[in-house]
Amino acid sequence: MVSAVVAIGAVEVQQCTAQQPATPQPKTGAQAQPAQAPRPAQIDRNGVLILVRSTLLALDHANKSGNYTVLRDLAAPGFQVNSAARLGEIFAGHRRDGLDLSGVIVIDPQFSLLPQIEANGLMRMTGFFPSVPKQVNFDLLFAPVGGQWRLFGISVALGQTGPVAPSEPPVTQRPPEPPPGVGGAKGPPPKK
């Protein structure tokens, strides 16, 4: 099974746990400003699909070729602090496990977090592609660069396709059914 792999811009690269980029520490006294709550991103469905699919396909091509320069070059400058060699190290598990992301072309993603603008100005979206036998989970961050959203952080992992049913409980003995017309609550009540 492929574990979560995270590549985040601004030299924050880590495996196994998704993290958001660091946000500035709150100011004190007269400089203090209230923290902004995330707000919905102003982007249409087609724009979201293009961002998600093109990002995951770029990762898929990089994983299959072992060449991460295009993935890196298409990303935001903050992400580009990761060298192509470093990205190759981060996603080595994907290559080793033969992770195939090509199914994202034809399957629609399901979102657990609709695109939203975080307090730091990055757009975040989280969800999965319900593929079989494993679903592809993603958590993506994009930074605005020159009027376009460009990759700033990515986490991709395989997970369960759906709820897993518990194993069957042990069979218990039920009392035998009484023969028809004998006792029980079946039939009309006896007349007096």
pLDDT digits (tens, 9 = 90+) for 120-145: 999 999 999 998 778 899 999 999 99
Query: Which residues contact residue 142 at a Cβ distance below 8 angstroms, ignoring those fewer than 6 apart?
Result: 51, 76, 122, 123, 124, 149, 150, 151, 152
Residue 67 CB burial class (10 angstroms; 0-12, 13-18, ≥19): middle
Distance, in Å, from the CA atom of 70 to the CA atom of 58, rounded to the nearest integer, reads: 7
Q: What is the three-class DSSP state of 97?
A: helix
Q: What is the three-class DSSP state of 105?
A: helix
Q: What's the residue count for the chain?
A: 192
Q: For residue range 52-86, list pLDDT tens digits in order.
A: 999 999 999 999 999 999 999 999 999 999 999 99
Query: What is the maximal distance between C-alpha atoms in the chain?
Result: 93
